[in-house]
Every structure is written in structure tokens, then in C-alpha cells.
């Protein structure tokens, strides 16, 4: 599936309704069966400058939607799925997204920025969990925040303060 992701993303934007529907179903099935592979494929699509702009934009949009929803319950569920991913998978996705910020293609940079903002927005959601009643929610939230703090380089923090 990963090798076909470009064509599937392009087909998901096709004018022909049957082609579009089949592509959307393929994407949904890939996401349900192999979330880490799905997210890696999308971030890989987004990072490669030789890929079509339209497939890159849709890949970024789907990535962003993998972390965000209007309904609070669904948003929480998506955040938990992201947090439960293997550290190596999340690291590779973050690397691809940061590399995409250097792309000469504006649409790719913009799309990557939206996903990165959603990942950063997790911090606010995590902080709101501190007020939850169950102790296990507080503990897991604090642990996640600790990991986030460990990921931030002291050099970055110092630069922001200058």
C-alpha cells in the first residue's frame, strides 16, 4: 500500500465519483489496518519534493485530521492514538515534517506547519487532563508532559527567551 499512496491520494481527488470513492475506502482501510504505516506513508508523501503537489497537500490534510476533530471525545481518542504510537514512528514522522518545512513548495510547507501546530496543541489538551478526577489520567498526562519536555532542546528554549 505504501508504494501506491501517491496514486491513491490523487485518485481520492478525482472528478470520477467511483474512482474517488474507491480511493477513499482504500485510505480508510489502510488507516484502520496499519495506523503507523499509514501515518509514515503520508508523512513520507509530504516530505518528498518530487511528489505531486496535490497528493502532498492531501497527505498533510489527512495527517492533520489524524490528530484533530471538532468533537472533544473524538479529539481525545485521536490524541490517545498518537500518544500510543511507537516512539520511533513518531520520531520519523516528526523528522519528515520538519524536513518539509524546508521544501521549496509553499503548499507542502504550509500543510506541514498545520500538522506541527496540532502536535503542539496536544500540550493544551494534556494540561486540561490534569484536572480530570482519575489518578491514572493525571499520572499518564504528567508522564507525557515529562517526555515532551525531554524532547525540547535547551538551545531552543534559550533562543526563544532572547
Higher pLDDT, residue 149 or 52: 52
pLDDT in tens, 16-34: 999 999 999 999 999 999 9
- At 7 the three-state DSSP class reads helix
**CA-CA distances (angstroms) from residue 96 to 33, 103, 112, 116, 135?**
22, 11, 9, 11, 35
Burial 38-63 (b: 16+ CB within 10 A, else e): bbbbbbbbbbbeebeeebbbbbbbbb
Total structural domains within the chain: 2
Q: Over the stretch 42-69, which tens digit does the pLDDT of each residue have?
A: 999 999 999 999 999 999 999 988 888 8
Same domain, 111 and 75: yes
Domain hosting residue 82, numbered range: 2-121
Looking at residue 162, its pLDDT comes to 39
Judge if 107 and 139 occupy the same domain.
Answer: no
Q: How many CB atoms lie within 10 A of CB 121?
A: 14
**Are 82 and 143 in the same domain?**
no
Q: Which residues have a Cβ under 8 Å from the Cβ of 11 and sit 6 or more positions away?
A: 19, 20, 22, 23
- One domain for residues 102 and 160: no
| Together in a domain, 15 and 41 | yes
Q: How far is CA 144 from CA 13, 77, 160, in A?
A: 37, 15, 22
Amino acid at each position: 500500500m505504501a508504494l501506491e499512496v501517491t496514486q491513491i491520494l490523487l485518485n481520492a481527488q478525482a472528478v470520477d465519483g467511483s474512482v474517488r470513492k474507491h480511493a477513499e475506502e482504500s485510505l480508510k482501510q489502510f488507516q484502520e489496518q496499519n495506523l503507523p504505516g499509514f501515518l509514515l506513508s503520508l508523512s513520507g508523501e509530504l516530505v518528498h519534493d518530487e511528489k505531486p503537489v496535490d497528493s502532498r497537500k492531501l497527505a498533510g490534510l489527512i495527517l492533520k485530521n489524524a490528530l484533530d476533530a471538532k468533537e472533544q471525545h473524538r479529539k481525545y481518542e485521536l490524541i490517545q492514538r498518537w500518544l500510543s504510537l511507537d516512539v520511533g514512528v513518531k520520531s520519523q514522522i516528526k523528522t519528515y515534517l520538519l524536513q518539509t518545512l524546508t521544501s521549496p513548495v509553499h503548499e507542502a510547507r504550509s500543510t506541514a506547519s498545520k500538522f506541527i501546530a496540532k502536535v503542539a496543541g496536544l500540550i493544551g489538551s494534556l494540561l486540561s487532563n490534569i484536572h480530570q478526577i482519575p489518578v491514572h489520567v493525571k499520572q499518564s498526562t504528567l508522564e507525557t508532559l515529562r517526555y515532551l519536555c525531554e524532547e525540547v532542546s535547551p538551545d531552543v528554549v534559550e533562543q526563544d527567551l532572547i
